[in-house]
Amino acid sequence: MTIDNKNNQSVDNPYQMALKQLEQTAKIINLDPGIHKILSKPKRVLTVSLPVKMDDGSVEVFTGFRSQHNDARGPFKGGIRYHPQVTVEEVMALSMWMTWKCAIVGIPLGGGKGGIICDPKKMSKTELERLTRRYAYAISDIIGPYTDIPAPDVYTGGQEMAWIMDTYSTLKGNYGEPGVITGKPIAVGGSLGRNEATGRGLSFTVREASKRKNISMNEATVVVQGFGNAGQFAAQLVEEQGAKIIAVSDTQGAIINKNGFSVNELIKFKKENKTIKGFPSSTETSNEELLTTECTILIPAALENQITGENASRIRTKIVAEAANGPTTPEADQILYDNDILVIPDVLANSGGVTVSYFEWLQNLRREYWTEREVNDRLDEIMTRAFGEVYDAHISYNTNMRTASIALAVKRVAEATQLRGIWP
């Protein structure tokens, strides 16, 4: 556990991590103390109790959250996760990071995040539907196409988003309102390219980072920790650029093959077996060994606090591209920076998802829909520009990429906050 000695607080707590990052950034950009105080706290955090009738007739009461961090630049935007370890501090931190993420890529949205403490793997589809609709009902007064637009996150997807859209639409007037949420199936207003957007956006930043580090993707080796949606598409798309995937993990375990895997075969195997363990021609390894495997590019695509002060010095890679949110602690960030490892921080690397969510929202509001090529080309343009701006800032400020990216974001949000003023 990393301790912030000044405040005697654990910074492995995601919210304390987020506050620590903001504090470091405020010093670099000489942030106005009043604006710093405003940005340190979410505008609103809602906690809801969610009674749900289970399939066996019993009633369980789940706890859900929705954190709305900042809307100075536009409506709140952020996913909803279902996980047994969801906490209000985690949701608050993620909503703050969403604010920075939207500002970094230059889209007119603010940060929000939601979560429910549950284990969706132990629930039936009908139980998940009742839970999702109850949650949508509970937060319906604070979400909307011009106020707060949720999206999928850990263990949620298009089906849950469709249920939320339907519940909200019925509550608010019995007409379809696709703009209330993104990440929907195509049939109910989703965007082409949305499902793979996080991985595709990350692959664009990896491409740009490899240019700055003079790395040939045809000679690059890649380790992927976490083989869910983001991890799978990231692996697939960097493989298309010529890289070789040599190690992968999921919730059941980790495997390695220095000769490389076929990502498509891995995806097929996991779909059939629910895990990558046992994949032919692979050797099982531990999660810790996977993280410290020598490679060109490491992609943490699991949960928070995976690269810490305890293991950062053993990370042997040139680029860390964070598909997950908050996988690297502040202490680890400094160690990686000192070891000349370029970290593409989560607020930049995985912002392809929110960028294409923004595209989906625009399409919903206009009731018009774009081709997949148009979506991908626009995403490429935004991610390439954002990476260049962050990289230049990291050189200019003589600091790591995370601090540089948050510095850019905070300056943009602070400017919007100052221009709008405090009223009443």
Position 175 scores a pLDDT of 82
What is the average pLDDT across 341-363? 95
- Strands 59-70 and 9-10, by their bridges, are unpaired
336 and 265 belong to one structural domain: yes
- For 49, other C-beta atoms within 10 Å of its C-beta total 10
Shared-domain flag, residues 170 and 202? no
Q: What mean pLDDT is predicted for residues 41-53?
A: 98
Q: Which helix (H) or strand (E) holds 348?
A: helix 346-349
Asked if residue 163 lies in contact with residue 130, where contact means CB atoms within 8 angstroms, the answer is no
> pLDDT for 371-404, tens place per residue?
999 999 999 999 999 999 999 999 999 999 999 9
Residue 7 has pLDDT above 80, yes or no: no
For the chain, the farthest-separated pair of C-alpha atoms sits apart, in whole angstroms, at 65
Residue 280 pLDDT > 60: yes
Which of 316, 349, 382 corresponds to the end of one domain?
349
CATH number at residue 93: 3.40.50.10860
- What would the two tokens of residue 384 be? 């390439």
When pLDDT is averaged across residues 134-148 and rounded to a whole number, the result is: 98
Same domain, 168 and 48: yes
CA-based nearest residue to 190, from 162, 170, 212: 162
209 pLDDT more than 70: yes
Work out whether strand 283-285 and strand 148-152 pair parallel, antiparallel, or are unpaired. unpaired
Is residue 20 flagged as an active site residue? no
Which is the catalytic residue, given 20, 101, 113, 184? 113
- Where b means 16+ CB within 10 Å and e means fewer, 293-316 reads bebbbbbbbbbbbbbbbeebeebe
Cα–Cα distance for residue pair 347/344, rounded to 1 Å? 8
Picking from 221, 147, 228, the residue whose alpha carbon sits closest to that of residue 180 is 147
pLDDT band at 4 (very low <50, low <70, confident <90, very high): very low
The total number of structural domains that make up the chain:
2
- Tokens coding 322: 């964070």
Give the residue-averaged pLDDT of 302-324: 93
**Contact between residue 146 and residue 114 where contact means Cβ atoms under 8 Å apart:** no
Within this chain, do residues 123 and 215 fall inside the same structural domain, yes or no? Answer: no
- Among 332, 349, 366, where does a domain finish? 349
Kindly state the helix (H) or strand (E) to which residue 298 belongs, with its residue range: strand 297-300
CATH number for the domain that contains residue 210 = 3.40.50.720
Residue 381 lies in a domain: no
**3-class state of residue 272 by DSSP:** helix
The parent domain of residue 125 ranges over 42-175
> What's the confidence (pLDDT) of residue 12?
60
pLDDT at 152 over 50: yes
Q: Does residue 138 share a domain with residue 219?
A: no
Same domain, 101 and 206: no
Q: Alpha helices, DSSP H only, in 106-216?
A: 125-139, 158-172, 197-212
Residue range 303-331: mean pLDDT, rounded = 91
The pTM (predicted TM-score) of the whole model is 0.89
